[in-house]
Structure 1
Amino acid sequence: MDKTRIWIIGAAVVMVVIVALGWVVAIQPQLDSASAADTQTASIAKTNAQSAAALEQLKKDYKNLPALQSKLATLQKSVPSDQSIPSFVDELYGIAAKNGLTITNWTAADAQAYKPVQPVAGSAPSATPSPSATPTPAPSVAPTPAVAGPTAGVPPVVNSLITAANFAAVPVTVSVNGPYANILEFLHGTQTGDRLFLVTAFSSAPSTSGPGFDGTVSGLIYVLTQPEAAAAKK
């Protein structure tokens, strides 16, 4: 083999080595960097899309903010963060006056801590029950039997956010005097007023001290203690 051929073979080997080193040292890192940049770009694009969607939702929520604030105010009036007995009594007097009745007595007992309701084993959840018509009792000399509690067989509503630490019930009893039909309207009014009021007992009888009937309504109003509301009042 002559020297020329050896030099040609040597030069070819050197060129291959140079190309290989160029690939390893220069080209491959650039390709890796480009691949990493593509991955990062895709990640940024995904994040931007998520942020844009969140921003769009915030814009929609902001437009609906007045309605949400109005709904919140109604709910806070229904179940306030304190007992607010005076305002509830004012509401009772307003309902009584509207129906031509006289409130003869009212009492409010100490608040009772909420006791979490345990669902009955084997009771299947049901859709919101349809209100059933309750026959209107006719006036009688004997006292009207006490109103029954929640409908039997209807599964209780359970919410883990409502606990004995933040929810309480205040027993309230109010007595009125006037026409029997008006007392029934008063009973309905207490259940549809601004303050949530659960009627637990109702009785009526002809008045022994004057005209008309005497009616007594017992029930519960509720208090939902909200940490942010309590802190704001301090």
Structure 2
Amino acid sequence: MTMTRLWNVVAVVAVLLILLLGYVVGVSPALTAASDSDNELLTVEATNQVKMAELDALKALAEDSDSLFADLEEFNKIVPSGHNSSVFASQLESLAAAAGVQIESIAYVTAVEALAPTEAVDTSTEAADDESETDDADTEVAEPVAPVTPTTSSVAGLVALDVSIQVTGSFEDVNKFLQSVQNNQRAFSVSSVQVDADSDDGVADMVLLGSVYVLSSNVGAVSASVSGEVVN
């Protein structure tokens, strides 16, 4: 190999090295940056789509805000955020006047965490599939089955305020008052009813125990606010 040809080979190798070095130093980072930019753009577009969907949902809520606030106000009458004992007493007075009974007293007993309703437990057993299994079952001694105790859980943020209501009137009027209390605007659950009827004068005395509900997470505060409160 002549010296000229050797220098040509060296020159070509040097050019290739320079091109490779230029690609590593300049072109490759630029391509990586461009790829990262494309990925960031896709991420931004996806985020924008999510935000647009959230914005559309907020616009829909804003357009229906009057209806939502009306529903909230109606629900607040059923289960208020305060005990509102004076409002409830006024409602009972109106119901009593409409039913023709006399309210003797309204007493707030205690406040406890409201319990979720329990589901009935089905303890029935399935019948035997055929006659032979039934005959075999008759010859066996049945083992005692332990009673199933349903579990109850409290409802977070809901307080049950126990109330005792005593009224007098005719039996028909007392029964009418009981029904109207259960259909009252404010939610009221009846726990017990005791009626003493005097057959001589037809006057009945009813003691109604039940609960109204308050939206609150502080049972102690609700209990203290109505502790010993009695309306005669």
Using the size of structure 1 for normalisation, the TM-score is 0.70
- Residue among 169, 172, 177 paired with 1:186: 177
CA–CA distance in 2 between the matches of 1:118 and 1:221?
Answer: 15
CA–CA distance in structure 2, aligned partners of residues 60 and 40 of structure 1:
30
Which residue in the other structure is 1:81 paired with?
81
Matched residue of 1:203: which SS? strand
CA deviation string 1:28-69 (max 9, x = no partner): 011011011011111111111111111111111222222222
Where do 5+ consecutive residues of structure 2 fail to align? Answer: 123-147, 222-232
Written as runs of structure 1 = structure 2, the 5 A alignment for 1:1-234 is 1-99=1-99, 101-114=100-113, 123=121, 158=153, 161-162=156-157, 167-178=159-170, 180-207=171-198, 210-225=201-216
Looking at structure 2, the residues matched to 196 and 84 of structure 1 have their Cα atoms a distance apart, in angstroms, of 13
Which one has a larger percent helix, Structure 1 or Structure 2? 2
Moved more, 7-16 or 36-45: 7-16
Tell me how many residue pairs correspond in the alignment: 194
Aligned amino acid, residue 92 of structure 2 = L
**Distance in 2 separating the partners of 1:29 and 1:204:** 90
Q: Aligned partners of 1:158, 1:72: CA distance in 2, in Å?
A: 25
Change (3 A) 1:57 1:157: farther
User: Counterpart in 2 of 1:131?
Assistant: none
Partner Cα separation in structure 2 for residue 46 and residue 66 of structure 1: 32
Partners of 2:68 and 2:12 lie apart in 1 by 79
Are the aligned partners of 2:182 and 2:188 in contact in 1 as well (CA < 8 Å)? yes
CA contact (8 A) 2:109 2:164 kept: no
**Structure 1, 58-67 or 167-176: larger mean CA deviation:** 167-176
State whether residues 105 and 176 of structure 1, in contact with CA within 8 Å, keep that contact through their aligned partners in structure 2: yes
Q: C-alpha offsets along residues 164-213 of structure 1, whole Å, 9 cap, x if unaligned? A: xx6242322131313x3333222111112121111122233444684554
Matched-pair contact (CA < 8 Å) for 2:167–2:207: yes
Give the structure with the higher percent strand.
2
Q: Which runs of 5+ in 1 are unaligned?
A: 125-152
The letter for the 2-side match of 1:44 is V
- Aligned to 1:81, what secondary structure does the other structure show? coil
Distance 1:156 1:210, change over 3 A: farther
Contact 1:200 1:218 (8 Å CA) reproduced: yes
Q: Partner amino acid for 1:195?
A: R
Identity %: 24
Are the equivalent residues in 2 in contact too, given 1:83–1:170 (CA < 8 A)? no
Cα-to-partner distance string for 1:145-170 (whole Å, 9 max, x where unaligned):
xxxxxxxx9x67745524xxx62423
Contact 1:169 1:223 (8 Å CA) reproduced: yes
Q: Give the corresponding residue for 1:143.
A: none
Superposition RMSD in Å? 3.2
